[in-house]
């Protein structure tokens, strides 16, 4: 299958700072990328859908000013958690889809805000 790389895999940051997470499709062009948040032993909660070159579409209840998404190229999307707080600590995971039907997931980023 196609390869999606997410970086960093783990990050610890101080409360009030911002953290950027990158999601790259390594061997295909991802026209659409999805960002999820996953709580321990819970399902994948879709945060937003991003299409290359256009603004992301956020799900209800997700603050767009807090979770900034940029999809500047067909191989890269970034999620920036701004002014992070301990309640933002979670597992964030992206998935990417190109011309093929299935979406491929990145390995996820465990964010801990202290």
Residues lying near other proteins in the complex (CB under 8 A) = 1, 31-32, 34, 41-44, 46, 49, 51, 93, 95, 97, 99-108
71 near 41, Cβ under 8 Å?
no
81 or 97: CB nearest other proteins? 97
30 near 75, Cβ under 8 Å?
yes
Please, which residues bridge with residue 110 across strands?
Answer: 10, 91
15 or 107: CB nearest other proteins? 107
Q: How far is the CB of 49 from other proteins (least distance, A)?
A: 5
Which residues are CB-neighbours of 63 under 8 A, at least 6 positions away? none
Contacts for 52-56 with beta carbons within 8 Å, 24 or more apart?
Answer: none
85 or 100: CB nearest other proteins? 100
Q: How far is the CB of 107 from other proteins (least distance, A)?
A: 5
Q: How far is the CB of 10 from other proteins (least distance, A)?
A: 11
């Amino acid at each position: 299958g196609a390869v999606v790389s997410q970086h960093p895999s783990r990050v610890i940051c101080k409360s009030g700072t911002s953290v950027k997470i990158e999601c790259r499709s390594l061997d295909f062009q991802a026209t659409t990328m999805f960002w999820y948040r996953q709580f321990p032993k819970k399902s994948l909660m879709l945060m937003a859908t991003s299409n290359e070159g256009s603004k992301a579409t956020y799900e209800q209840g997700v603050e767009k000013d807090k979770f900034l998404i940029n999809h500047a190229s067909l191989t890269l999307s970034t999620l920036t958690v701004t002014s992070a707080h301990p309640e933002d600590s979670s597992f964030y995971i992206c998935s990417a889809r190109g011309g093929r039907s299935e979406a491929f997931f990145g390995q996820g980023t465990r964010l801990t805000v202290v």
